[in-house]
Structure formats: C-alpha cells, structure tokens
C-alpha cells in the first residue's frame, strides 16, 4: 500500500522519540512491501516560534490530506507564560477539533516484564488490560467560558455540554470494541451531581440496551472509579467517559503500568486520518539527553497502522517486537529501576533488530 504519514515531532523529547518510530515504520514498510511517504511539520511550541501559531495552516492541511498523523509531544517551560497570546496546548485542542477526532483510545495494559515498575503491588496490576474511550471534542474542554466581575474580585465559568449525538457516537465505538474483547463496558460519569452526566447516563443506557445487549454493562461514578482503578483494575475491560474525566482517570491508569513511557494513544473520528501519540508529555527535564523511552511512540505508530491504515498484521509485528525486547530485559532509564539502561536510539535499534 502507498500511505502518506505526517510526523509532528513537536517539542522536548518529541523529536527524539518520533525519530525512532520513523525508523521502525521504514523497516515495516520495507519488510511488508509498502511505501510510506513520511513528512515532518511544525506544531506546538516550535511552531509558535517559527509561525506564531501552534498549529500553522500548512500543518493542518498536511494532516488532513494524510492517511495518519504521528505526534511526539508539545509544550515546555518556554511557552508556559499564562499571559502569552497562545500556547502549545491550544494547537493540540484545535487539531482534535478540526480533524473531528472525537474518540481518544487509551489502552492501559501492564507488561509482564515490567510488573515491578508499578508503584502498586504486583498482585493488583498483573493482567490489567483496559481500553479507555475518552470523548475528545466536547464537554468542558470546548464549552463556553468566561470571566465576570464579582464582589470578591472576579468569577470565572466553564460550561460542560454534551449532546445526545456526541454521547451516542463515542458509546457506540466503545461498545463495538468491547464486543471483540471481554464483552464488558463501564461508563464513567458524575450523574449524582451533574445534569450533563444524567443525560450521558440515560443516552448510554439506551445505546447499550438497543445495540449492545450482549455486553455486561455498568455505570460507575468518577470518584468511585478513581478508587476502583487502583484497588481492582483487572475488573475493567472497556471504559467510556467524557473529556475531562477521561483525561484524569487515564493519567491515573497509566501509573498501573509503571511508566508513562510505555503507553500509546489513538484519536480517531468517523472517517479520515487519525492522530496517534504517546500519552506522555514533552518531558523538558530530559529533552536532548537521548534517554527518553521511545516505546510509547513506537506503539502509537502500531496503533496508526491498525486503526488508520488497516494494517493489523504489521501493527502486531511491532507490538510483538516490543514485547520481545522487554522480555529480553532491555530497558530505558524510566523502567530500569536503577539497573542498566539503554539510550533512546539504542532502544529503537533493539525493536528494529527484533523485527528483522
Ligand atoms: C492529554 C493532555 C491534554 C489534555 C493537554 C495537554 C491539553 O493532558 O492529551 O491528556 O488535557 O487533553
Ligand atoms: Mn492529560
């Protein structure tokens, strides 16, 4: 197949980890007879510096004309001034909205070889395999907001809005995923307090009743979910929730696996190219040192092959190679627990070696 892949290396460690994923994609293309045309475009803080815009028009146009987009990470202290005209994060929110990427898939899966890297007990995290569907283009992230004068100074407000259609489409994707997994779906909300969550709950229940009666379904309040995630994470299969709750519980979930450096994510819409990225940020503290873990980005590239290019087999090849590298005991500093560690490019090279 011929595919156009857009690389958005971004800021901090982004370029370092994307370079390794690019090498892995090249090897996959060669091995399987594909042509991947890969181009790099500015986004994030670097794009603010070069274009005055975290998501320049030409970058967005290239993404929209591609088959899939691989993003490293955006942001850093240089662009953190709260009074700045724009921020790297604004580019991320805009690309999600413009590309209509309403579903953010975040797998939380523990690796046998890394069980000791989790801050939680091995008995709790062993065998955890959760797929979280976070709604990504609605909710409080995209509602109206503002400030107004108040007797004490000022007050600020942010609206959280969900429509029936927005809830239905994300629940449907989660339901379909659950059908090909362990057939369990959990919806997370705050229906005991928020009206928006009461709509979320009733729409979700209707979709499940009418279209997914083969699934075991439950509603869980987000505060309880925060607790269950660390006390009995193995009980969850597919989890579906809104934008902000999903942001929070997936960061919590990532700790089950021990390192943020291991987790990929996929943002997809009804059709069109998806956006794939590691869950971790730009890690300015270690940027340029060549020690970042490239595996989350390499695994994000695998998700891109699966969800946007329909290359299931090739995705599985990458995942198997990562498994093999970890099983062989290779570690970057974040998962080495003080033991010997490989550099970013040495880890990438191990994956390539294991592929061939
Ligand atoms: C994430 C990030 C973003 C979010 C930030 C950087 C805007 O935390 O992808 O989870 O809150 O969605
Ligand atoms: Mn987040």
Span 79-96, pLDDT tens digits: 999 899 999 999 999 999
CA of 247 to the centre of ligand 1 (A): 7
Answer yes or no: do 143 and 180 share one domain.
yes
Domain that holds residue 135: 129-255
Query: Domain ends where: 227, 255, 283?
Result: 255
Mean pLDDT of the chain: 97
pLDDT by residue (tens digit) across 102-136?
A: 999 999 999 998 998 889 999 999 999 999 999 99
Q: Could you tell me if the CB of 92 is within 6 A of ligand 1?
A: yes
pLDDT of 48 higher than 90: yes
On whether residue 118 sits in a domain, the answer given is no
Tell me which H or E stretch contains 72.
strand 68-73
On whether residue 240 sits in a domain, the answer given is yes
Tell me which H or E stretch contains 15.
helix 14-32
Q: Computed over its alpha carbons, how large is the radius of gyration of the chain?
A: 20
Answer yes or no: do 280 and 333 share one domain.
yes
On whether residue 21 sits in a domain, the answer given is yes
Answer yes or no: do 94 and 134 share one domain.
no
pLDDT by residue (tens digit) across 270-285?
A: 999 999 999 999 999 9
Task: Please give the biggest Cα pair distance in the chain.
Answer: 68
pLDDT by residue (tens digit) across 145-172?
A: 999 999 999 999 999 999 999 999 999 9
Write the residue with the smallest CA distance to atom 12 of ligand 1. Answer: 247
For position 7, what pLDDT does the model report? 98
Which of the residues are catalytic? 141, 190, 223, 247, 251
For position 117, what pLDDT does the model report? 85
- Confidence class for position 259, pLDDT limits 50, 70, 90: confident
On whether residue 117 sits in a domain, the answer given is no
Answer yes or no: do 53 and 81 share one domain.
yes
Answer yes or no: do 86 and 161 share one domain.
no
Q: Could you tell me if the CB of 252 is within 6 A of ligand 1?
A: no
Answer yes or no: do 93 and 178 share one domain.
no
CA of 167 to the centre of ligand 1 (A): 20
pTM, 2 dp: 0.95
For position 82, what pLDDT does the model report? 85
Answer yes or no: do 185 and 232 share one domain.
yes
Dist CA 267 CA 75 (whole Å)? 19
On whether residue 123 sits in a domain, the answer given is no
Dist CA 99 CA 186 (whole Å)? 27
For position 258, what pLDDT does the model report? 82
Answer yes or no: do 235 and 214 share one domain.
yes
Q: For residue 193, which of 236, 226, 223, 155 has the smallest C-alpha distance? A: 223
Query: Domain ends where: 207, 236, 255?
Result: 255
Query: Domain ends where: 255, 278, 295?
Result: 255
Answer yes or no: do 43 and 14 share one domain.
yes
Answer yes or no: do 293 and 237 share one domain.
no
Quick check: 186 and 218 in contact, CB under 8 A? yes
Write the residue with the smallest CA distance to atom 6 of ligand 1. Answer: 89
Tokens of 325: 């590298």
Answer yes or no: do 276 and 250 share one domain.
no
CATH of the domain at 87: 3.40.718.10
> What residues are paired with 332 via a beta bridge?
342
Percent of the chain past pLDDT 90, that is, above it, reads 96
State which ligand 1 atom lies nearest to the alpha carbon of 251. Answer: 10
Sign of the C-alpha dihedral, residues 2, 44, 253, 210? negative
Quick check: 331 and 338 in contact, CB under 8 A? no
Q: For residue 274, which of 99, 26, 62, 73 has the smallest C-alpha distance? A: 99
Q: How many domains does the chain have?
A: 2
On whether residue 161 sits in a domain, the answer given is yes
On whether residue 305 sits in a domain, the answer given is yes
Dist CA 292 CA 332 (whole Å)? 7
DSSP 112: G
On whether residue 164 sits in a domain, the answer given is yes
pLDDT by residue (tens digit) across 135-152?
A: 999 999 999 999 999 999
Q: Please enumerate in sequence order all residues whose Cβ is within 8 A of that of 27, keeping only pairs 6 or more positions apart, or say none.
A: 352, 355, 356
- Confidence class for position 356, pLDDT limits 50, 70, 90: confident
Q: What is the mean pLDDT of residues 224-229?
A: 98
CA of 264 to the centre of ligand 1 (A): 13
Dist CA 197 CA 130 (whole Å)? 22
For position 185, what pLDDT does the model report? 99
Answer yes or no: do 4 and 47 share one domain.
yes
């Amino acid at each position: 197949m011929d595919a156009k892949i857009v690389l958005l290396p971004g800021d901090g460690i982004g370029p370092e980890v994307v370079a390794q994923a690019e090498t892995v994609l090249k090897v996959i293309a060669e091995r399987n007879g594909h042509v991947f045309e890969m181009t790099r475009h500015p986004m994030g803080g670097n794009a603010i510096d070069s274009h005055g815009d975290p998501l320049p028009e030409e970058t967005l146009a290239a993404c929209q004309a591609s088959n899939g987009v691989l993003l490293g990470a955006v942001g850093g202290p240089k662009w953190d001034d709260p009074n700045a005209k724009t921020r790297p994060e604004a580019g991320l929110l805009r690309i999600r909205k413009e590309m209509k990427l309403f579903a953010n898939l975040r797998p939380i899966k523990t690796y046998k070889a890394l069980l000791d890297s989790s801050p939680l007990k091995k008995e709790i995290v062993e065998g955890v395999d959760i797929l979280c569907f976070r709604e990504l283009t609605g909710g409080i992230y995209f509602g109206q907001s503002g400030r107004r004068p108040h007797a004490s100074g000022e007050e600020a407000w942010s609206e959280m809005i969900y429509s029936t259609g927005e809830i239905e489409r994300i629940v449907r994707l989660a339901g379909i995923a659950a059908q090909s997994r362990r057939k369990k779906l959990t919806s997370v909300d705050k229906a005991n307090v928020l009206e928006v969550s009461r709509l979320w709950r009733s729409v979700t229940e209707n979709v499940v009743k009418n279209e997914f009666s083969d699934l075991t379904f439950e509603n869980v309040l987000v505060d309880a979910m925060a607790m269950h995630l660390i006390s009995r994470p193995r009980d969850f299969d597919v989890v579906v929730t809104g934008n902000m709750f999903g942001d929070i519980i997936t960061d919590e979930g990532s700790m089950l696996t021990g390192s943020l450096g291991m987790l990929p994510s996929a943002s997809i819409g009804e059709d069109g190219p998806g956006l794939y990225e590691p869950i971790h940020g730009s890690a300015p503290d270690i940027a340029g040192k060549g020690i970042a873990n490239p595996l989350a980005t390499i695994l994000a590239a695998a998700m891109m092959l699966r969800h946007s290019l329909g290359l299931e087999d090739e995705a599985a090849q990458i995942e198997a190679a990562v498994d093999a590298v970890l099983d062989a005991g290779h570690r970057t500093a974040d998962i080495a627990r003080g033991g010997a560690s490989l550099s970013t490019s040495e880890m990438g090279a191990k994956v390539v070696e294991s592929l061939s």
